[in-house]
Homo-oligomer: A and B are copies of this chain.
Amino acid sequence: MPQGHVFIATSLDGFIARADGDIAWLIARDDPAEDHGFTAFIAGIEAMVMGAGTWAAVQDFDPWPYPIPVLVLSRRLAGQTPPARLAGKVRFLDLAPDAAMDLLASEGVRQVYVDGGKLVRSFLAGGLIDTITLTQVPVLLGGGLPLFGPVPQDIDLQLLSSRAFPSGLVQSQYRVLR
């Protein structure tokens, strides 16, 4: 089975976006002069999976930021054709997490970037996440779309590394223990 990897930012109180998907609070606190390691992370990744919510947030990004094949897992979008400019880069599929990983395995993919709150939670629940790189932004939003949610049982993590940035971001990398 491929290994799933999460690389995501939250507010200190655990939200990836406001309730309406807004991430302006995040962008406003991002210092573009700081290297938060995304380029190094994505260099070790062969494919990405996201849900419909993340797709909605990123579909208009120009240039398209992902140098790897993207699966958008969505019952609603499945069967639709991605925008022409993303032909060959994005597929819309109605697959459960383990089926998506099986498909990627059959294509020779071993390292998968899993993005978006709902998808991260379902992949975590399925035991499909190997590492989580969590970047915490020094702000309390008080509400919004959470990264984490209910889990079938406690999930122990092993801290691999942690670093603080001058901007106040704290980034910690964990391995998910099963």
A residues near B, CB below 8 A?
12-14, 25, 124, 134, 136, 138-143, 147-159, 161-162, 164, 168-170, 172, 174
Contacts and interface: CB of A to CB of B under 8 A. Distances in A.
B150 A159 contact: no
Given A12-B134, A13-B148, A162-B162, A142 B154 contact: yes
29 contacts: A12-B134, A12-B148, A12-B157, A13-B147, A13-B148, A14-B14, A25-B154, A124-B140, A136-B172, A138-B157, A138-B159, A139-B155, A139-B157, A140-B151, A140-B157, A142-B150, A142-B151, A142-B153, A142-B155, A143-B150, A157-B168, A158-B168, A159-B164, A159-B168, A159-B169, A162-B164, A162-B170, A164-B172, A170-B172
Contacts of A148: 12-14, 140, 142
A173 to B, nearest CB: 10
Contacts of A158: 138, 168
A14 B14 CA distance: 7
A164 B139 CA distance: 20
